[in-house]
Amino acid sequence: MKHVILVGNGMTSFKLCEKLRKLSGDIRITVYGEEIRPAYDRVHLSEYFAGKTADDLLMAPRGWYHEQGITLHTGELVTEIDRANKTIRTHHGITDHYDYLVLATGSGAFVPPLEGVALDGVFVYRTIEDLNQIIEYGRHSRTAAVLGGGLLGLEAAKALVDLNLEAHVVEFAPRLMPRQLDDAGAMILAHKLTEIGITVHTGKATKRIAGDDRITALEFADGTALPVDMLVISAGIRPRDEVAKACGLAVHGRGGILVDDYLRTSDEHIFAIGEAAVHNNMVYGLVAPGYDMADVVARQLTGDLSKTFTGFDMSTKLKLLGVDVGSFGDPFGETPGSIPIAFQDRCNGVYKRINISADRKHLLGGILVGDASQYNIFHQMVANKIPLPAQPESLIIGTPGKEDEGAGVKSLPDTAQICSCENITKGDLISQIRDHGARTIDELKKTTKACTGCGGCTPLVNDVLKMTLEGLGVVVKKTLCEHFAFTRQDLYDIIKIEGIRTYDALLDKHGVGDGCEICKPAVASLLASIWNEVIAEQATIQDTNDRFLANIQRGGTYSVVPRIAGGEITPKKLMAIGRIAEKYNLYTKITGGQRIDMFGAQVHELPLIWEELIQEGFESGHAYGKSLRTIKSCVGSTWCRYGVQDSVSFAVFIENRYKGLRAPHKFKGAVSGCIRECAEAQSKDFGIIATEKGWNLYVCGNGGARPQHAKLLVTDVDTDTCVRLIDRFLMYYIKTADPLTRTATWLNKMEGGLEHLRQVVVEDSLGIGETLEKEMAALMANYECEWKKVVETPALRAQYRHFINDEASDDTLSFVDLRGQKMPTDWNRK
C-alpha cells in the first residue's frame, strides 16, 4: 500500500486528507503537525477573541482522523528529510518511511529586523498560542499597536478592539491594504476605522521598538514616537521552507519551495502545497488556492493527471471590524486600455470602483469598500466575461426604475465557479438540487462543501438554490407551523387589522387543530408585540418562562430579575435586594447586563418575592421574555474623564422607554460615553456611542455563541433623532423578522442588507417612518409591569403553585453550599 506523509497540519493539509480519502481508501496517510492540536480554521482566527474556543475552530476533531484511517502526530516538528532513503525524522526522534511526501508547512510571520523585537509585549499574530499570549498580556495593557496595515494587520487590530484596548495601526505604505485598495478606497476604510476608535498611521517607517525590559513606544524615522504598552507585528508572511532547504530541494530566492504545475518539487516524490509553495514566482496566501493545490496533488497521488495548477484569482471579500471590503479581478485598472468608473459616498463610508475594458463590453475588476453586497456577482462577471449593460455605470450607481441588466445569477453559465474554496460550480449546485433533492443551504453544504470555507459564497449559493427551486416549481413554505398556513408576518397583519386579542380567537378564525408548542408561544409573542398586554393573561401559552414570568433554572427553581435601568441603582434599593434575597435564601449574582439576578426561588414564592420588590419600587426585568433585556452603560461624562456625553442618563431613558417591548427574540442595547466603548455597544442589537457632536447609532450586533459586530447606521445625530430612529428600527424588526430571529440574523437575511435597512429607517424610503413611530408610542403608552399585575390579581397569583391540588412547597428540591451561597445539587454527580 502506498504511504503518503504530510508534513504540516493546517487547513490545506486537512483538505488534502479529505480529498485523498474521497478518491481512495487504499493509501496509507500519516500527518505530522508541529502544533499541539489538529488542524484549525485560521481564516476565522479573530473570532477566538470574540468567544469561540479552540475546539470551535477545529476543522475536525481528533477522532475524525482515526475514523478515516489517518495517523495523526501532533506536537511533532519534522526536522530532517532523507531523500535518498525516503524517510523523515522529527525533533522527538520519530523516523518514518514514505513513498510520497507532501510539504504543507505553511508560513510564519515576517518579523522585520528592528531593534527591540525581543522585548516583552511584542507579539506576532499567527497561531492560537500567539492569541493566548496576546490575550493574557492585553489584560494588563491599555494601548496597543499593530505593525502592518494589510489584511492580517487589520484582523489583528480587530483583536485589539475585542480586548478593549486603545488600538493603533501603523503602515509603512501611504495607504491601508496597499495590495487590495487604491487611495480613495483606503481613505474611506481608514475613516471607517477611525469612527470605531482605531487610530491609523500611514506612511510611517518604524525605526525601533523602545523600552528596557518591555515595550514602551514605537519610534519612527521622521522623529516622532507612539507610546504603546503592546505591539502585534503583522508585516507579512514568510514561507516555511527550512526543512526543504536542508534536504536540498530547490527554493525561491525570496523564500518558498519551487513547484511545477503538478505541485511537484525538484524531487518527483515530494510535493509542496499552500503558503510554503512558490508557483510561477507567486506565493498564495489565501485558503482557496491552497484547497485547489490540495485537489491537484490528491489527483496526482491517485493516478489522475488530468488537472494542473495554473494559478489562482486572488480576488477577496472580507469584513474588517464591521466594514465590508472587496477586491476582485484587476482592482487597479492595470490592464491596457482599462477605463475606471468610481462612486464615492463619504457620508455613509461607501466607495465603489469598477474597471471596464476599452470597448466597454466587459468588467475587468474593481474595489468595494463599505458595501460589498455586489462582490459575488461582480466577481462572476469578471471570471465568466459576462457582457456589461449598455450603461456600465449603472452597476454601481443604479438606474432608476430598472433592474441591473446581466447582473443576476441567471446570467451565469453552469461552469461558473460559485465556491472558490471547494471549486464548486453553478452546475454542481443545480445538479444537487435538481437530481439529488437538496432543498436547503445546509443540505448543499453537506453534499458539496460549498459555504464551508471562507463563507463568502453563501449569498450566491442561496441565489442559485432559490432560482433552481423556482424553476422546478417547488414552493418553499414559510408557514408558522401545521396549524397556521401563514408566515409570522402574515399573522402579524391579521392580528393587527382584525383586532384579535387572544390565541383561541386567532386559531378559531384562521387556524386548524388545537395548536402546538411552536405556534402557541409565537402567537403569544405576537399578541404582546402588537398590543403590549400582560402575557401571563394568555391562558394557552406553553412557554414555561412566560407562563411564570421567570426563567426556570437547574433543579426546577426560578430566577428573579428586577429591572435596574442602565445599571444605575440607589443604595436603598441595593439594600432592599440584599434583604429580600437573604429572607428567601436566594443565590445572588451581578450579571453581564449590569443588574442583579436572584436564583433558587420556588414557584409559590415568586409572587411573595415580587410583592416585596414592587413595594421597594422595582419592576419586572423581563429576563424571561423575548423582549428588551438590558441597556448597558458606562459612567459617561458624569464621572469618567474621557466621557463626552451623559451615557447613564441616556441609557436609563432608553431602557425605561422600551421596557416590556415584545419582539421576535430578546434584544439588548448599550450606551457608551465615548469611543473607548466600555459599554460594548457594538455587540448589541442596538448600540449608541457618544461623539463630540452627538451620537453614533449601531444596529444588528450580538454576542453569544455567534458574535457579530453591530453596523453603523448613522453618525453624529442629536438625542431626539437617535431615539426616533431606534423607534423605527425596533418596530420594523418586530413587524418583519421571523420567529426567534435575533436582529443580526434578521439583517443577514434581509434583501439589500444594511443599505435597505438604512433607506427604510433613516431615509424613510417606504414612507412608513411616522407609522412606525406612532405604533411604538402606542405600545409604550400601554405598558404595565407584568409582575405588578400578577401580584394584584388573585386569579393570576393563584397559578403559582407546585401542585394543582395543594399549596405546599416542593420538598424534593435539594441544595449544597457554594462559596457561602446555595446552589442546586448536581444530579449528574449523585
| Annotation: binding site | 634, 640, 674, 678
Residues 6+ apart with CB under 8 A from 637: 643, 644, 645, 646, 647, 673, 690
d(CA 224, CA 210): 12
Helices then strands (H, E): number in the chain?
26, 37
CA distances from 801 to 67, 603, 797, 807, 824 (A): 51, 6, 9, 6, 20
Query: Residues marked as binding for siroheme?
Result: 678
Q: What is the 3-state secondary structure (H, E, C) of 29-45?
A: EEEEECCCCCCECCCCH
| Three-class SS state of 52 | coil
Give the N- to C-terminal CA distance of the chain in Å, as an integer: 51
Residue 39 CB neighbour total at 10 angstroms: 26
Given a contact cutoff of 8 angstroms between Cβ atoms, the answer to whether 3 and 99 are in contact is yes
Burial class (CB in 10 A: 0-12, 13-18, 19+), 69: exposed
Reading the block at residue 51, the C-alpha cell is 468567544
For CA atoms 729, 731, 733, 735, give the dihedral sign.
negative
Q: Tally the C-alpha atoms within 13 A of residue 678's C-alpha that lie toward its C-beta.
A: 15
Given a contact cutoff of 8 angstroms between Cβ atoms, the answer to whether 663 and 699 are in contact is no
d(CA 502, CA 566): 33
**Bridge-partner residues for 31, per DSSP?**
6, 72
Q: What is the 3-state secondary structure (H, E, C) of 479-532?
A: CCECCECCCHHHHHHHHHHHCCCCHHHHHHHHCCCCCCCCHHHHHHHHHHHHHC
d(CA 419, CA 702): 27
d(CA 612, CA 624): 19
Query: Residues marked as binding for [4Fe-4S] cluster?
Result: 634, 640, 674, 678
d(CA 160, CA 135): 9
Buried b (16+ CB within 10 A) or exposed e, 298-309: bbbbeeeeebeb
Q: Which amino acid is at 299?
A: R
